Amino acid sequence: MIAVAALRRPARSETGDPLLLTPGPLTTSKSVKEAMVHDWGSRDAAFLALNRQVMERLPEVVHGEGRYVTVPMQGSGTFAVEAMLTTFAPKHGRVLVLVNGAYGQRARRILEIAGRRVVLHETPEDTPPDLAAVDRILAEASEITHVFAVHCETTSGILNPIDDIAAIVARHGKRLLIDAMSAFGALPLDAREGPFDAVAASANKCLEGVPGLAFVICLREALAGTEGQATTLTLDLFDQNKAFEKTGQFRFTPPIHVIVAFHQALEEFWAEGGVAGRRGRYSDNARVLIDGMRALGFRTLLTDALQAPIIATFHTPEHPNFDFQRFYDSLRARGYVIYPGKLTVADSFRIGCIGRLTAEDMRGALEAVRETLIDMDVDLAGAR
C-alpha cells in the first residue's frame, strides 16, 4: 500500500550540514571542525609537538608501535598510495598487484607511470582475490619483490582477506604494501599477525578527520632500505621521514589546520575505544542500512560474508519509474548525501556507513529512502 509521505525537517549534522553517507570526505564532529579556527606556525614548537603526537600514536592502530614509523604526506589518499608504491617498489623489482576495483587499477597505473614492472591478478569487483592463484603466481615468478593489496576495495565495499594475503606473501619471502584507505581505524589490521612493509591511509576516512593529509605507516627496517628509490621529490617517503628525524618538521608546507583537526579526531577515536569502538558503531550502521534497504526491495551487490561495514553497493532498481538523479536529489533535500556507483559491471549506487553517523542516522536515511520511493511511485518490495 502506498501512503503519502509526510514532510519532515531535513536531517542535519551537529553543524547544520547534510549528512554525508559517502566514502569520504565524511561528516565530522563539530569539535574536529572547531579545532581549525586557530593559526599555527609550521615551525613553531606548539605545532610540532602536536604533529609529533599525531604521528607517534598512529602505529598503535595496527599494533606496530616501536617497529613502524608514521610518515605523513600532504594531500589526498592517492598521494600516500603513490608515495608508498614509488618509494618501496625498487627499480628492478616487480610488483604483483591484486585488483578487484578502481583502487587496485589506480595502483597499477601509478606503478606503470613510475616505470615499475607489474604483474596483475584481477578478479571481478564482487570477488576477492583467488588465494590459490596468488600462491601459484608467487611460487612461479621469482622476480616479484612486492605485492600490493587493497584492504577494503571501496569501489564495491568488498572486504579483501588481508590476513590470508599477508600470510601467503610472507611464506614466499615477498614484501606486502597495503592500501587501507577506507578501512584504517575500523577494520582490524595487525602487523604482529600479518606482516607488511607499509600501509597507506588518510585522515579523513574512518579516523574522521578532515581531508588534506594522508600517511604511510612504514616498517622502519624496510623504509631504511628505500633511499634513492623514489621517482619524485615530493612523494619520497625516505626523504620525508629523514626530515622528521632530523628536524621534526615537514619538508614542505604542512596542512596545519588539517593536522590540528586530525589531532582532535584521534582523541575522539581513542575515546570511542579505537578500532573496536569504531568498528562496532560502523557495523551497527551497516546492519541497519543493509537490512532496511533489503526490506524496501533493494538488492546488495555483495553477500554479507564479503561486505565490509564501510560502504554498501546497491543495484539500481530496474523499475521504470526509478530515476537515480531524482532519487539522489530527493535524499539530498531530506538531508542525506549518497554516492553514485563506481562499478564497471552493473548499474549501481553506494551508501556509506562511516563518519560521524549513528544507527539512528541510518534509520533516518531509510525513512528518507522510503518516502522517496513513494514520491517516485516505485514499489520494489511489493513487486517481488
Positions that interact with ligand PLP (CB under 6 A)? 23-24, 76-78, 81, 103, 150, 154, 179, 181-182, 202
CA-wise closest residue to 177 among 138, 219, 142, 206: 219
Task: Quickly tell me which residue has 559491471 as its cell.
Answer: 345
State in angstroms the smallest separation of the CB of 196 from ligand PLP.
15
The C-alpha atoms of residue 340 and residue 384 are separated, in whole angstroms, by 24
The C-alpha atoms of residue 299 and residue 313 are separated, in whole angstroms, by 9
Angle at 97 between CA 58 and CA 306, to 5 degrees: 70
State in angstroms the smallest separation of the CB of 83 from ligand PLP.
12
State in angstroms the smallest separation of the CB of 25 from ligand PLP.
8
Q: Quick one: DSSP state of residue 90?
A: -
State in angstroms the smallest separation of the CB of 247 from ligand PLP.
27
Q: Which CB sits closer to ligand PLP, 72 or 364?
A: 72
CA-wise closest residue to 281 among 336, 353, 338, 373: 353
Q: Which CB sits closer to ligand PLP, 129 or 317?
A: 129
Q: Render 172-229 in DSSP notation, one character per residue.
A: TT-EEEEE-TTTTTTS---TTTS--SEEEEETTSTT---SSEEEEEEEHHHHHTTTT-
Instruction: Dig out the grid coordinates for 352 from the structure.
Output: 556509506
Q: What type of residue is 337?
A: V
First to last CA, the chain: 14
Q: Which CB sits closer to ligand PLP, 126 or 179?
A: 179
Q: Which CB sits closer to ligand PLP, 23 or 72?
A: 23
State in angstroms the smallest separation of the CB of 223 from ligand PLP.
21
- Using CB positions, name the residue nearest to ligand PLP: 77
Q: Which CB sits closer to ligand PLP, 154 or 231?
A: 154
The C-alpha atoms of residue 285 and residue 288 are separated, in whole angstroms, by 5
Q: Which CB sits closer to ligand PLP, 29 or 154?
A: 154
Instruction: Dig out the grid coordinates for 91 from the structure.
Output: 627499480
What residue ranges in the chain does DSSP mark as E strands?
19-20, 68-74, 94-99, 117-122, 146-150, 152-153, 158-159, 175-179, 198-202, 213-219, 311-315, 336-337, 339-340, 348-352
Q: Which CB sits closer to ligand PLP, 24 or 309?
A: 24
State in angstroms the smallest separation of the CB of 150 from ligand PLP.
5
State in angstroms the smallest separation of the CB of 214 from ligand PLP.
7
Q: Which CB sits closer to ligand PLP, 48 or 110?
A: 110
Task: Quickly tell me which residue has 599477525 as its cell.
Answer: 193
Q: What type of residue is 128?
A: P
State in angstroms the smallest separation of the CB of 54 from ligand PLP.
18
Q: Which CB sits closer to ligand PLP, 51 or 182?
A: 182
The C-alpha atoms of residue 369 and residue 184 are separated, in whole angstroms, by 29
State in angstroms the smallest separation of the CB of 152 from ligand PLP.
6
